[in-house]
Structure 1
Amino acid sequence: MEEENTIEQQLKTTQKKFKKIDSGIIVKLGEVYDTLLNTLESSAHSATRSNLILYGLPGSGRKTAVKYAINNIYERKTMRLIPIWIDAGVFQTENEFALELVRQIKELVEDIKLSKNDIFDEGFTFKNIEGYLNSQDGTWVLIVDRIENLVSQKRQSVLYALLDWLQNNQNSLTLIGITSDLKFTEKLEKRVKSRFSADHLHFMGCELQDCVQLIKKRFEKIGDTESCEKLCKQLLVCFDSQGIQEQLDLSFVQLMKPISYIINVISTMLNFIESKELENKIKNRELSKYIQELLRKALDLHQPFTGLMYIENLSIAEKQILICVARMIQHQKYPITFSSIQNEIIQHRKGLQFGSQIYFTQKVLQKATENLIQLKILRLQDSEEGEANGKLEETKNIILLVDYQQLRTYLCDNASKLPEALKDLAEV
């Protein structure tokens, strides 16, 4: 009885703590993090700052990577960084963004009285900010999440003022912009673009080893801090099994799922475990198989496969879009957007002999993609408002909601029903 209660308590602790462990562990594994860290360090030690733009899906670890880099530098005492975090997506006007910047500077600079006009005049031109920043010992880092919202503002005045000031002054501030808009720089006005100099880092997808390390690091951290070390070690072994790694690869890596999604699925899997059944599986040495079954159950909950029932009745244009998405996943042609799908179809069409082509206009393909979104076969990442209005944004990342492996199996099993050009596109 005592052993059973111990396992039950260990399980409860593991279920409770897993999701709360810092999700930023994964960012230390990639070259992107190293580049970010090196850029911050070199920027702080040079007269001219190296500004950064971080691209990637929400939940891909961009903000956490910045936090880790800042903490890493601070802990090594190579310099003092003073971060200011602003989410540009929560403000309706440039004036509100400017006021938030002033507010945060006032909190960090002691014994000063600061108003918006002390930094901006009516045209949003920076004025006395240099003195305030230099009054503090350290390098300021302004992190602007959803920076693309400053591009949508009239005349992009705040962004222009900030970039103009950064370009023309010896300053102690580094700008880090975070965005999911892959065409962010293309939307800049000419005067803004002329003052914009930044390194570009892309947080795309996780490799299989990254997913496994992310999961295992969490179990290790729970085992180090709680009285459930034995259970965590047993669960750790499970994620070395070939079956589970194949599941992780198909469900997370090939579909480019962000870190937050991976954590939510594994957390759900843990919540499915019952202590008595867990004890029996451990005694019978069936723990890995048990965990694999629960992982599949958790994936079904987070990624329903019901969309496949609609495929038989899809139009040729809709099938072409869906097959193209599957093809791009197979060959890891990321990111997948409506624009990249169009380019893939165009390149495919060029390789076909004349007369065997199936040609659809951009308008037809756009409508086909919107229909697939309405059927919940595809989804636009981080674009709920656009989806609600029935709008398709060409640069938004497209996520496949149906099971990728089942889709590939369907295409192979039904190859004879596909038009000739679609057979070639699907590689079946």
Structure 2
Amino acid sequence: MRPPARSSSARALASLREPRMQPVRTMKPSAMSKRKLKDSSAESAECISQVQKILRERFCHHCAAGKLFGMEQQYRHLLELLKRTTVHGESNSALIIGPRGSGKTALLNHVLKDLREMEQVRENLLEVHLNGLLQTNDKVALKEITRQLQLENVVGDKVFGSFAENLAFLLEALRKGDRTSSCPILFVLDEFDLFVHHKNQTLLYNLFDISQSAQTPVTVIGLTCRQDILELLEKRVKSRFSHRQIYLMNSFDFKQYLKIFKKQLSLPAEFSDESFAQKWNNNIQHLSEDKTVQDVLQNLFHHTKDLRSLHLLLMLASSAVTVHHPLLTAADLQEASRQHSTDSKANIVHGLSVLEICLIIAMKHLNEVYDGEPFNFQMVYNEFQKFIQRKAHSMYNFEKPVVMKAFEHLLQLELVKPLERPSARAQREYLLMKLLLDSSQIMDALQVYPNCPTDVKQWAASSLSWL
């Protein structure tokens, strides 16, 4: 049955009871709201800029703005040692020993920064920084010492009988009054073990000799990763060394590594925008508890405890922070980890020609067949010819000089290395070579190689050579 029709009066009554839908009117933003939006975006841009500056300073291992981890005792020891030189005019010598990336340079930079901020030290310490990689002999080292002490005009065209005379003249030129009023000099020898190989160790002998005599206050600090460094010193040099050694080791576990991760990314309490800093720090806390982030850090930790590697990872991740992406995410750290662990040699393979790829695959098979024994170009060429004959491909049928040119290009890229320096008489085809790529690197590179022919991929994947 149909429901009874409503009368017009009933319909009118119902319409009065039901609320009418008003059309939605869009309000145009006022000039004031636009100004507020602009101001807030400017503030956020300023915050992001400050964050990037703070993090860059922390992650630069030569900058003393970051924090020191696990070396408080060594810091106090070195600071006290240098204070005795700068304040009381005592001469001394010490070695900072530790593996690469353990924080030797960072420790020294922190101590020097704190020393320079002391009133009694400010502008009262002369520093000479030498590096064994740059100052390859005593003559070059002496020239660099003269330049850093700004004594070129004093030396002029004077001729000295020996290295010791020249160095003594430089120090005499800096002396004023008695020992306590003379300006102390700090010699920092980076890559200290390389100075050991200088002729007769003359530089080291004279620096250690001066640090023991009652002349100008001089302290010599050496930085090295050689644990056996004292055994490399001559007796006369060793006898003049104070035998002070400061050891640095990355001895922290993964829990401490996570704490370092949090501290290095957290913003300080004095950050200009307190609400943004709190939001940022809360996000970092959540990231440190995230399983994905912990896996990324665990992989890096097992590979190396070197904090420079961690800083590089965090630098890559923090570079993704922008006004539109103000907080770090787990995806940022994963992407940074992927970039960090990218194989540089595999990247070179991506830019090779198909012929060069074929030669690398031929070498790969030769390595498998002959169990890593060295090979020569002729063997590689023969292997390549077998592939062409088997596949009956005219497109890969290059003349031998062309193949030789491609092989030489691989040599220039250092993907292949000769076992000995080639002589003028030796035939290029028969020089013994070694491939500097392993099988997994080649296969990984081929997976992303653009437009790689299918039969070339199949040849690479085959476990046996085309013998």
TM-score, normalised relative to structure 2: 0.53
Over 3 Å counting, the alpha-carbon distance change for 1:296 and 1:56 in structure 2 is: farther
State the shift of 1:8 in Å. 6.7
1:266-286 per-position Cα deviation (integer Å, ceiling 9, x unaligned): 12112345765x57xxxxxxx
The whole-number CA distance in structure 2 between the counterparts of 1:12 and 1:76 is: 31
Question: Quick check: 1:166 aligned with 2:207?
Answer: no
Aligned to 1:94: 138
Aligned to 1:250: 298
Question: Quick check: 1:140 aligned with 2:188?
Answer: no
**Could you tell me whether the CA contact under 8 Å between 1:59 and 1:259 is conserved in 2?**
yes
Alignment partner of 2:78 out of 36, 46, 49: 36
Over 3 Å counting, the alpha-carbon distance change for 1:224 and 1:158 in structure 2 is: same
Question: Quick check: 1:53 aligned with 2:98?
Answer: no
**Could you tell me whether the CA contact under 8 Å between 2:287 and 2:330 is conserved in 1?**
no
Alignment partner of 1:205 out of 250, 256, 268: 250
Over 3 Å counting, the alpha-carbon distance change for 1:91 and 1:50 in structure 2 is: closer
1:102 is matched by which residue type in structure 2? T
The whole-number CA distance in structure 2 between the counterparts of 1:117 and 1:28 is: 48
Matches within 5 A, 1:206-355: 207=252, 208-209=255-256, 212-213=259-260, 216-217=263-264, 219-221=266-268, 224=271, 229-238=277-286, 240-241=288-289, 243=291, 246-247=294-295, 250-272=298-320, 278=325, 291-304=329-342
Question: Quick check: 1:122 aligned with 2:151?
Answer: no
Report 1 or 2 for greater relative contact order, CA contacts < 8 Å, sequence distance ≥ 6. Answer: 1
Greater percentage in helix = 1
State the shift of 1:306 in Å. 12
**Could you tell me whether the CA contact under 8 Å between 2:89 and 2:184 is conserved in 1?**
no
The whole-number CA distance in structure 2 between the counterparts of 1:239 and 1:78 is: 44
Secondary structure in 2 matching 1:27: coil
1:282-302 per-position Cα deviation (integer Å, ceiling 9, x unaligned): xxxxx8xx7334323322321
**Cα RMSD (Å):** 4.4
Q: Which runs of 5+ in 1 are unaligned?
A: 280-286, 319-384, 392-401, 403-428
Q: Which runs of 5+ in 2 are unaligned?
A: 1-33, 346-363, 373-413, 421-439, 441-467
Secondary structure in 1 matching 2:245: strand
The whole-number CA distance in structure 2 between the counterparts of 1:28 and 1:78 is: 28
The whole-number CA distance in structure 2 between the counterparts of 1:116 and 1:251 is: 59
1:159 is matched by which residue type in structure 2? L
2:197 is matched by which residue type in structure 1? S
User: Which sits farther off after the overlay, 198-207 or 137-146?
Assistant: 198-207
Bigger CA radius of gyration: 2
Secondary structure in 2 matching 1:127: helix
Aligned to 2:106: 64
1:98 is matched by which residue type in structure 2? L
1:93-132 per-position Cα deviation (integer Å, ceiling 9, x unaligned): 210111111111126x9xx7135968x6424444234433
Over 3 Å counting, the alpha-carbon distance change for 1:123 and 1:230 in structure 2 is: closer
State the shift of 1:53 in Å. 1.1
The whole-number CA distance in structure 2 between the counterparts of 1:236 and 1:295 is: 12
**Could you tell me whether the CA contact under 8 Å between 2:193 and 2:226 is conserved in 1?**
yes
Alignment partner of 1:191 out of 236, 240, 247: 236
Aligned to 2:119: 77
The whole-number CA distance in structure 1 between the counterparts of 2:291 and 2:261 is: 18
The whole-number CA distance in structure 2 between the counterparts of 1:11 and 1:389 is: 50
State the shift of 1:139 in Å. 2.4
Runs of 4+ in 1 over 6 A off after TM superposition: 3-6, 387-391
TM-score, normalised relative to structure 1: 0.57
**Could you tell me whether the CA contact under 8 Å between 2:296 and 2:333 is conserved in 1?**
no
**Could you tell me whether the CA contact under 8 Å between 1:216 and 1:239 is conserved in 2?**
no
State the shift of 1:174 in Å. 0.5
2:312 is matched by which residue type in structure 1? N
The whole-number CA distance in structure 1 between the counterparts of 2:164 and 2:137 is: 12
The whole-number CA distance in structure 2 between the counterparts of 1:297 and 1:143 is: 39
Over 3 Å counting, the alpha-carbon distance change for 1:164 and 1:211 in structure 2 is: farther
1:60-113 per-position Cα deviation (integer Å, ceiling 9, x unaligned): 432232222122133233544332222231123210111111111126x9xx71
Over 3 Å counting, the alpha-carbon distance change for 1:256 and 1:223 in structure 2 is: farther
State the shift of 1:13 in Å. 5.4
The whole-number CA distance in structure 1 between the counterparts of 2:119 and 2:285 is: 37
Aligned to 2:67: 26
2:56 is matched by which residue type in structure 1? K
Over 3 Å counting, the alpha-carbon distance change for 1:245 and 1:295 in structure 2 is: closer
Over 3 Å counting, the alpha-carbon distance change for 1:7 and 1:75 in structure 2 is: closer
1:302 is matched by which residue type in structure 2? H
Over 3 Å counting, the alpha-carbon distance change for 1:78 and 1:5 in structure 2 is: closer
2:127 is matched by which residue type in structure 1? P
**Could you tell me whether the CA contact under 8 Å between 1:223 and 1:233 is conserved in 2?**
no
State the shift of 1:19 in Å. 2.0
State the shift of 1:172 in Å. 0.4
Quote the sequence identity (%): 17
**Could you tell me whether the CA contact under 8 Å between 1:14 and 1:222 is conserved in 2?**
no
The whole-number CA distance in structure 2 between the counterparts of 1:186 and 1:389 is: 34
Over 3 Å counting, the alpha-carbon distance change for 1:82 and 1:15 in structure 2 is: same
1:73 is matched by which residue type in structure 2? L
Secondary structure in 2 matching 1:220: coil
Aligned to 1:426: none
The whole-number CA distance in structure 1 between the counterparts of 2:272 and 2:107 is: 23
Secondary structure in 1 matching 2:195: helix
